[in-house]
């Protein structure tokens, strides 16, 4: 991200890249590239976006495991 960008532009850019990284319907390669871009930004804000992605991914995985266990008990 260019140094000359205003805070609002940086925030908008982070939001767009974060949305691409979080979109499970998006191609995996594109999502990975978005995650790498966030890491390359090396800013506090980009780290927060990455942490949010991890938290959401962890919650989604936990929900899937819970539903799978409930499905096993119902069988």
Mean pLDDT of 29-53: 94
Domain of residue 34: give its range.
Answer: 7-74
Asked if the structure places residue 63 within a domain, the reply is: yes
Asked if the structure places residue 2 within a domain, the reply is: no
Please tell me the pTM assigned to this model.
0.69
3-state helix, strand, coil split of the chain in percent (to 5) is 80, 0, 20
pLDDT value of position 1: 46
Q: Pick from 49, 12, 67: which is nearest to 1 by CA?
A: 12
10 Å Cβ neighbour count for 23? 12
Tokens matching residue 72: 């096993």
Domain count, the chain: 1
Question: Is 64 buried (19+), middle (13-18) or exposed (0-12) by CB count in 10 A?
Answer: exposed
Asked if the structure places residue 56 within a domain, the reply is: yes
Asked if the structure places residue 35 within a domain, the reply is: yes
Mean pLDDT of 17-26: 93
Asked if the structure places residue 12 within a domain, the reply is: yes
pLDDT band at 48 (very low <50, low <70, confident <90, very high): very high
Asked if the structure places residue 13 within a domain, the reply is: yes
């Amino acid at each position: 991200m260019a140094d000359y960008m205003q805070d609002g532009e940086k925030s908008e850019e982070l939001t767009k890249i974060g949305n691409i990284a979080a979109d499970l319907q998006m191609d995996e390669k594109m999502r990975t590239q978005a995650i790498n871009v966030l890491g390359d930004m090396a800013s506090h804000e980009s780290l927060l976006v990455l942490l949010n992605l991890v938290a959401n991914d962890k919650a989604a995985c936990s929900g899937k495991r819970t539903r799978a266990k409930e499905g096993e008990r119902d069988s």
